[in-house]
Amino acid sequence: MTGKYVKLLEFDLAQAIEREKELRKDLEFYRGKCERMELAMATTGNAAQREYSAQSRPPGLAPHLERIQLPSRKNFADLRREWNALSQEQQEKIVEEGKWDTEVKDAGQ
């Protein structure tokens, strides 16, 4: 009785080994396909993407966007230098009022 089950298990094992061999062959096949695809993409570049983006979007800004001038800020080193140059009373006054100009002044203003 146990010989029958052993034969069935051996048969199942043999089928599983064959299936594994087939899957390994398929895996190598698809790896080769992927490598060839990567090589083709690397040599030709992404022409389809460039062509699509050139057709779908005109150069320049979108019509609903406009350029705005953002205020220029002083860098941290300059701010720290200015802060350290202030007296203790001036620093306290600025902290109380909450007013300290961090924007760069243009020569035209």
Same domain (yes/no): 78, 56? no
**Secondary structure (DSSP) of 39-92:** HHHHHH-SHHHHHHHHHHS-SS--TT----PPPPB--HHHHHHHHHHS-HHHHH
Domain of 56, in residue numbers? 1-60
**Looking at the domain assignment, is residue 6 inside a domain?**
yes
Same domain (yes/no): 39, 10? yes
pTM of the model: 0.38
pLDDT tens-place string over residues 59-100: 565 666 667 777 677 778 888 888 899 899 988 888 888 877
Residue holding tokens 């698809």?
30
**Looking at the domain assignment, is residue 36 inside a domain?**
yes
**Looking at the domain assignment, is residue 53 inside a domain?**
yes
pLDDT tens-place string over residues 16-47: 999 999 999 999 999 999 888 888 777 776 66
Same domain (yes/no): 56, 16? yes
**Looking at the domain assignment, is residue 95 inside a domain?**
yes
Q: Which two tokens stand for residue 15?
A: 């089928």
**Looking at the domain assignment, is residue 7 inside a domain?**
yes
* Poorest-pLDDT segment among 2-6, 51-55, 96-100: 51-55
